[in-house]
Amino acid sequence: MGDTLARNPEIIPVRIHREDCSGLIIDVQERLVPHMFRHHHLLHYIRILIEGLQILEVPMLITEQYPKGLGPTLEPVKQALKEIPVIEKSAFSCCDEPAFSREAEKLNRKTWIIAGIEAHVCVLQTVMDLISLNHIPIVVADATSSRNPVDKEVAMNRMRQEGAIVTTTESILFELARISGTAAFKSISKLVK
């Protein structure tokens, strides 16, 4: 019948390029993770995301919220991150932590691939601040969680409405890889199987 999909002319499609990306893993800590909704699922995708970003040579930062009370980064995640230094914070938003701001400035990247917890607190506030600083936050939904699934759902909707891109682990890794048949593509294909 000739039906066409209407497209909002104000929305400009954004292709994500790994040369302009940094990864950010927020507060995946010992005393927080066990309380997250579907925490085994969450950890599975966080590890795939970290390993995939490393294959693609995307630099990463990792934060811990008040580690004295909430414990360090969970050991399997810390092992996957290898030599990446941890930034301790007391602010909910990473952007309110001077040490994070210094490290982010050194990376000099505009696009942030974000995963971690909790979606409705530290992730949301960080995303909102990154948007206000003219960065492009990409929230990886299957590698982000909250204790209550409703909190995560509402936070994802708000972040999307404010201008964040919401995606999945597999989708972002293949978008960054761009071409099949490369060594990076083959390694990522093994990761997501």
Domains annotated on the chain, with CATH: 18-192 (3.40.50.850)
Does the predicted model carry a pTM greater than 0.85? yes
**CA nearest neighbour of 97 among 80, 76, 122:** 122
Q: What is the pLDDT of residues 94-136, one digit of tens each?
A: 999 999 999 999 999 999 999 999 999 999 999 999 999 999 9
Whether residue 9 has pLDDT greater than 60: no
Q: What is the pLDDT of residues 64-92, one digit of tens each?
A: 999 999 999 998 898 888 888 899 999 99
- Residue 72 has a pLDDT of 95
Q: What is the pLDDT of residues 165-185, one digit of tens each?
A: 999 999 999 999 999 988 988
Better pLDDT: 82 or 40: 40
CB 171 within 8 A of CB 178: no
- Establish whether 27 is a catalytic residue: yes
- Establish whether 89 is a catalytic residue: yes
- Establish whether 94 is a catalytic residue: no
Annotated active-site residue in 21, 94, 95, 122? 122
Whether residue 2 has pLDDT greater than 50: no
- Residue 4 has a pLDDT of 47
Whether residue 12 has pLDDT greater than 80: no
- Residue 71 has a pLDDT of 94
Determine the Cα–Cα distance for residues 5 and 11; give it in Å rounded to an integer. 14
- The structure tokens listed for 106 are 């050194």
- Residue 169 has a pLDDT of 98
Whether residue 5 has pLDDT greater than 60: no
**CA nearest neighbour of 43 among 33, 31, 53, 55:** 33
- Residue 84 has a pLDDT of 87
- Residue 168 has a pLDDT of 98
- Give the other-Cβ count within 10 Å of 110's Cβ: 13
Annotated active-site residue in 27, 94, 142, 152? 27
Determine the Cα–Cα distance for residues 115 and 127; give it in Å rounded to an integer. 11
How would you list the strands of the sheet with 165-167, edge to edge? 86-89, 60-65, 21-26, 111-117, 136-145, 165-167
**CA nearest neighbour of 113 among 73, 56, 71:** 56
For residue 154, CA distances in Å to 57, 140, 150 come to: 32, 15, 6
Determine the Cα–Cα distance for residues 139 and 144; give it in Å rounded to an integer. 8
* 56-81 burial: b if 16+ Cβ within 10 Å, else e: bebebbbbbbebeeeebbbeebeebb
